[in-house]
Every structure is written in C-alpha cells, then in structure tokens.
Amino acid sequence: MLETHWGISPRASALRPLRPAAGRPLSHTSGLWRVSVPGEPGGGGGEFVLKAQLTAEALRPVAFHVIKRQVMEVCARQGIPVAVAVPGLDGAPAILQDGIGCELLPVLPGTAHPAVTPVRARGIVTAGLALRSVLDGLPEQVVRALAPYPLDPLVAQPCWRAALDDALGRLGPMAARRPDGWGRLISGVLRQLDRAGPLLERLTEVGEQTARGTAVVHGDLHHRHFLFGEADRHRITGVLDFDNLRVDDRLLDLAWTAASAGRVVGGRAVRREGARAFVRAAEGAGLLAPGEAGLLMPRLLGYAVPVVVDIAKDVLERDILDDLWAEYLDLLSPARMADTHALLTQ
C-alpha cells in the first residue's frame, strides 16, 4: 500500500507498530504504524505514521478527508501544531483500499502524558482555546461543506436518556451479579451514572439543542491528544486525532478542555484553581459567555453516557474484555465530571 499510494518502497523504509512512550494509543478502531524513510524531510524522507481505520462503521469518505485536510491546513497556518496528511500520488489525503481507510501523517515530536500536572493543564488550556478560536473563525463555506458528513457514534444507543435508563434498570443488576473484576469495574461506573442524574437534568433544562450544529468541532479534545515537548516538557508540540471532526456544538471542545483542567493531580484546591484559570482564559478570549461554564460538564456527560453504557454492554453482554475499557472509563468518569462541574461553577 505504501509503495502503491505514496511511492514509499518497502525495501527502503522501516515499518513497525507504533508504541508511544506513555503507552499504547488510546484507540480501539485504528491501527498505527511508524514508517521511517531515509532522506531529508523536504525530499520525501522522514518519520511518518500510517494510520489504518479498521472499523468499517468509523470509516469516513474521501470527500470528508479533503475537507479535514483544508481545516488542518488552516490550523497549521494559525500556529496550531497538527499533522497534516501527506497526499498520495493521486493527490488524495486518504486512501480507501479493501474496506480500510488509510492516512500517512508526519510524526509530531513529543509525548502524550496520562497525568495532568498544573503546568501541563495550563498548556492544554492554552492550546485547546487557541484551536477553538481557529475553528470558530473558519469560513462559513467550510462549515457547510463539512455538515453532510456526520460522525457515526459507534454505540448501540446514542440517546443518553435511553442509554441511562438501560444502564440503571437492566445493566446495573447484571454487573452486580458478575463476581470478577470486570463486574466491579462496571458496577462502579454505573453507580457514578446514577449519582450524576442532577448534572444531566441541567442539560435538559438548557435544552439539548442549544448551540448544536453551529461550528466545526474537533470533538475528542481530551488530554491524551496533546503532545508535550521533550526538551521543554511543558510546551505543547502536537494536537492529535481529528478523526471526529464534524459540525456540532462548539461547547463540546470547551468541555473537553475544561475537563483536563479539572483532572489536575493534587488536592482539590489545585483543581479548583485550574478550573477557575480555564474559565478566566475562556471568557477573556471571548470563547465562553458568562454563565456558560455551567453548561460544559452536562454537555460532556451527555456525550459520554452512551459510550460508557456501550462499554458496559461490551463487557456484560458481548464479553469483549479489552484492557482499554478501564482507560476509557477513567477518561469519561461521570464522578470526575460532576466534581469538575462543581469547581467550574463555585
């Protein structure tokens, strides 16, 4: 494939599975391989990542990738460190072959860290808000061009209300009856969902369609998608994974950014200052109106509930026991979102 579509000879390059320093990629739909090509970067050489979308439902058409590349080129020109796809020999930014979608991306320097220190949180907030500002400024024709390509939610029940009812009425007792560690893991997160009910009601109060469909969003802007430099470990050197790019509620990106500020390692006072610093920066940049901070965690939880419930079904009904589930459930923890909401609104 590399030779056919990008002119990279397998005899003159090295291909190996990507193993980030901070652990394997947080993805269950894509395969990642590092491609080393001898020569100078400007002359076709350098370090690249071959990304293969292995889940048919997650495939996006080539027309989507054309728009995605346009968006990322705008981001790059505005100083956002992103990996713009290397076009194939035919000029296409992505290749579809045998039902698998592939991109070739330049390797960005740096490392993603699972732990968010106060200094890292400040870097994530600065970069996340800068990205949101660039996306808010995209021309209207780009928004219109992207709108026909919605994202498949990849869950059996995308409605958070229906998913929550199923979780509390049926899946909770199933998890309680399962005696192993998986049962305890799922029981714990379903109890968190039960206690997060008031936060979801806040989403209902403001109306689920508020601001929906008004902007291009990254859609998955969590802390594992930010790279930090090796020499200057507090500097953001990369913003990753624009696969969820779509037209949706712009508050979702801001919610993910706020969630990073709310998961800073340290005591509650440290997390409170991180949350307050986010609100000050977002409001100061004109990205968040006064009072909107109270909408962020309800919005993020509304997105998270169907995913959490689908993972519970994977474990309890489908017996799909992937070690990544614990990492996803930590990332989407309803209890942490409730705590972050309190910090943002105090």
Whether residue 334 sits in one domain with residue 304: yes
pLDDT score recorded for residue 251: 94
Q: What is the pLDDT of residue 20?
A: 58
Q: Is residue 112 part of a domain?
A: no
Q: Where are the alpha helices (DSSP H) in the chain?
A: 2-6, 62-77, 118-136, 140-146, 160-166, 172-177, 181-195, 197-206, 251-261, 268-284, 293-316, 324-331, 334-345
150 and 214 together in one domain? yes
Task: Give pLDDT, residue 43.
Answer: 72
Q: How many CB atoms lie within 10 A of CB 275?
A: 26
DSSP letters spanning 83-127: -PPPP-TTS-SSEEETTEEEEEEEPPSSB--SS--HHHHHHHHHH
pLDDT for 26 equals 63
pLDDT under 70: residue ranges of the chain = 19-26, 42, 206-213
* Residues 61 and 151 both lie in one domain: no
pLDDT of residue 201: 87
CATH number at residue 17: 3.30.200.20
* Whole-number pLDDT of residue 39: 85
Total domains, the chain: 2
Token duo for residue 307: 């995913």
Domain match, 101 and 146 both: no
Residues 236 and 189 in one domain: yes
Domain housing 311: 118-345
H or E segment to which residue 247 belongs: strand 246-248
CATH of the domain at 229: 3.90.1200
Judge if 321 and 207 occupy the same domain: yes
Q: Give the integer Cα–Cα distance in Å for 161 and 198.
A: 13
Instruction: Report the phi/psi class of residue 16: left, alpha or beta, with left for phi > 0 and alpha for psi in -120 to 50.
Output: beta
Residues in the chain: 346
- Look at residues 106, 132, 160 and tell me which one is the last residue of a structural domain: 106
80-95 confidence digits (pLDDT tens) = 999 999 999 999 999 9
